[in-house]
Amino acid sequence: MLVLSPFVMFGVFEWITGNLMEIEPVFLMMNLVLFFLLYFVVFAVTNSMRVGFTVLNVVLTVWALAEHFVVEFRGRPIMIWDIMAFGTAMTVADTYQYDITLQIAAAVMVILLWTVLIWLLPVRLPSKKVWMGTAAGALASMALFLTVFFQYGITALGMEINMWYPSWSYAQYGYLLSTLRVMDYLSVDPPEGYSLWTVREMQEEIWDWEEEEDTPLWSTESDVVPENIICIMNESYADLRVVNDFETDLPFMEFYDSLEKNCIKGNLYMPVFGAMTSNSEYEFLTGISIAFTPSGSVPYQIYMRNPSYGLTSILKEQGYRTVAMHPNEKANWNRDEAYRNMLFDEFYGIESFLDSPTIRGYVSDLGNYQKIIQLTEEKEEGQPLFVFDVTMQNHGGYEMDYPSTVHLTDYENMPMTEQYLSLMRESDQALQYLLEYYASVDEPTMIILFGDHQPSVETEFYEALYGCSLDEVEEEDYLRQYITPFFIWTNYDTESMLEENLSAMFLSCAILERANLQATDFVSFLRYLYQQLPVVHILGYYTSDGAWENWDGWEEKEEYPLLHQYDLLRYHYMFERNQIASLFQVSE
């Protein structure tokens, strides 16, 4: 009973979660060792199979049941940071229907019977000396396992949590082992010199900048405050001509190219390529560069505190009703919780687009824009509205049954690229529909559009544009794969501008200034940082004079003090328990 209990409990635990038959052999062995050490430690410390194993059985059973129902309700596992939202979860727990299946009933019965056997066949250590020695050995064994796992095992085994579909990783690795892997994401050391006192001093320095700095960067002579601010992050919206020019038989961005009046437009440097959409959202909405977040992390899944200040909270403070839209499942990338923490008033998911037109099975850009128009038409008169819309039409892959209308004239056998360019032509026509509608609307309206990342089409196409293998592309040239187009357009008179280089983290600064709205101290710092380093990216950064620098030896470079200050503020925003909220809120 002493030896078999952890193995029985592991089997029942993963049976309830539904992972038992999916765990890969090497991770199966590691899970068995982990469960054995867990039970060994509890027994050795308590010197009581009855008490220790019973408590552990109850805890693990409740945990497994919670995991089963959470996956059933929202399609993703309980992750370590969900504990922070336990109170919120309890407030909605009674709105779900809990079906007790035969599998669950049988599993619970096995645990009950096994626990009875534990009470009938207990083991105790014979003396205090043996007890203390066994406890020390158990704790040392567990410490050794954890040290080896965190220091070497994660890297050696290539354990990464698939943040798009974490259930896949949890099934592959087993639940407890996956939980340990996720805990490593939470182990983040503060930057050198970090303290609350340092951040308070920085805030005072920002106040001095605000008093001295009055040079407009994106504002115009117009003093109009838009009643509608519509922001569209368009899925895989990109102009691949930024990599290198090429010809097609039909134009695919004709309307976008023609935009000249009442807009800022140009190049936006995104933190991801081909996937990881939520990281683009996070950088734009918060001003926190993915270059400074823990490597491989997805903040929407891990680091969303309540509240998570940013563009949404700034606009909400100034009277805007805040609405998020995405014609797909709300739980994808944990958006439902992330948007709630960002203080969106409402979130419209796929259930709000059931009658919308589709392309390749995805709601089309036209369908998205029709929903936006419906929102502005039905809203209360005079109510300022902020809409953040994440589209789906151009999502990869580009091998679906969809007839291409745009064809490359210089390259052959690029079906994925041609399908993608055909979708971009559809996007361009939908964009024309949207802007022409709001051009005739009386309410002052600002529309922002940008792409979340470039598409993952044939590698051969990118290599043809570069003229060499991707492995041979120079770092600065490789950065061109992270550029997407953007614009800030108004249906009232504003000065047009061209913005060649802008990181996604700075776009909210331009929006707020262009809209004549108040900014926070943190946004003021971002504005100052932009003037020195207009592009801050995971690959490196551009200085104001156009010089490219990578991160090698960045602590020795002249830009380090400013970047270090940003890193201090970034850490404070993401991890400080005693956060200085006034840094991220609009001053009275």
Element (H, E) at 279: helix 277-286
Same domain, 182 and 218: no
Pairing, β 540-542 against β 385-390: unpaired
> pLDDT tier at 87 (50, 70, 90 boundaries)?
very low
- Express each pLDDT in 327-379 by its tens digit: 998 988 889 999 999 999 999 999 999 999 999 999 999 999 999 999 999 99
Q: Whole-model pTM? A: 0.78
The per-residue pLDDT for 165 is 62
Which is higher by pLDDT, 1 or 587?
A: 1
Burial class (CB in 10 A: 0-12, 13-18, 19+), 551: middle
Same domain, 204 and 174: no
- Express each pLDDT in 234-291 by its tens digit: 999 999 999 999 999 999 999 999 999 999 999 999 999 887 889 999 999 999 999 9
The per-residue pLDDT for 183 is 78
Q: For tokens 């024309």, name the residue.
A: 432
383 has a pLDDT exceeding 60: yes
Same domain, 162 and 219: no
Same domain, 356 and 212: yes
List residues bridging with 324 in a β-sheet: 347, 388
Rounded Cα gap, residues 241 and 244, in angstroms? 5
Answer whether 392's CB lies under 8 Å from 363's CB: yes
**Residue 243 is encoded by which pair of tokens?**
């990599």
Name, in order, each residue with C-beta under 8 angstroms of 46's C-beta and a sequence gap of 6 or more: 52
Name, in order, each residue with C-beta under 8 angstroms of 501's C-beta and a sequence gap of 6 or more: 266, 267, 269, 534, 535, 542, 546
Same domain, 447 and 579: yes
Same domain, 450 and 353: yes
Q: Express as a percent the part of the chain with pLDDT over 70.
A: 94
Among 127, 152, 186, the domain-final residue is 186
**Residue 35 is encoded by which pair of tokens?**
């469960």
Provide mean pLDDT across the span 48-62.
92
Question: Which range among 27-36, 182-191, 496-505 shows the weakest confidence by mean pLDDT?
Answer: 182-191
CATH number of the domain enclosing 217? 3.40.720.10
> pLDDT tier at 97 (50, 70, 90 boundaries)?
low
Provide mean pLDDT across the span 447-472.
92
Count CB-CB contacts under 10 A for residue 122.
Answer: 14
Residue 39 lies in a domain: yes
Name, in order, each residue with C-beta under 8 angstroms of 119's C-beta and a sequence gap of 6 or more: 50, 54
The per-residue pLDDT for 85 is 46
Answer whether 350's CB lies under 8 Å from 329's CB: yes
The per-residue pLDDT for 70 is 75
Rounded Cα gap, residues 523 and 430, in angstroms? 32
The per-residue pLDDT for 88 is 40
Name, in order, each residue with C-beta under 8 angstroms of 205's C-beta and a sequence gap of 6 or more: none
552 has a pLDDT exceeding 70: yes
The per-residue pLDDT for 92 is 42
> pLDDT tier at 479 (50, 70, 90 boundaries)?
very high
Report the mean per-residue pLDDT for the chain. 90
What is the extent of the structural domain holding 417? 196-583
Q: Express as a percent the part of the chain with pLDDT over 90.
A: 69
Rounded Cα gap, residues 582 and 167, in angstroms? 38
200 has a pLDDT exceeding 90: yes
The per-residue pLDDT for 91 is 40
> pLDDT tier at 164 (50, 70, 90 boundaries)?
low
- Express each pLDDT in 101-142 by its tens digit: 888 899 999 999 999 999 999 888 888 899 899 999 999 999
Among 148, 165, 186, the domain-final residue is 186
Q: How many domains does the chain have?
A: 2
Count CB-CB contacts under 10 A for residue 109.
Answer: 11
Rounded Cα gap, residues 166 and 172, in angstroms? 10
The per-residue pLDDT for 287 is 97
Among 126, 161, 186, the domain-final residue is 186
The per-residue pLDDT for 188 is 81
> pLDDT tier at 167 (50, 70, 90 boundaries)?
confident
Pairing, β 385-390 against β 228-234: parallel
Answer whether 522's CB lies under 8 Å from 530's CB: no
Rounded Cα gap, residues 580 and 569, in angstroms? 10
What length is written for the chain? 588
**Residue 37 is encoded by which pair of tokens?**
């050490």
Rounded Cα gap, residues 303 and 298, in angstroms? 8
Same domain, 131 and 261: no
| Three-state DSSP class for residue 227 | coil
151 has a pLDDT exceeding 70: yes
Same domain, 336 and 438: yes
Same domain, 157 and 285: no
Residue (of 281, 231, 236) closest to 453 by Cα position: 236
Residue 191 lies in a domain: no
| Three-state DSSP class for residue 147 | helix
Q: With DSSP H G I counted as helix, E B as strand and the rest as coil, what are the percentages for the chain, rounded to 5?
A: 55, 10, 35
The CA-CA-CA angle for residues 547, 552, 553, to 5°, reads 100
588 has a pLDDT exceeding 70: no
82 has a pLDDT exceeding 80: no
Provide the CA 400 distance to its chain's centre, in angstroms.
26
Same domain, 162 and 257: no
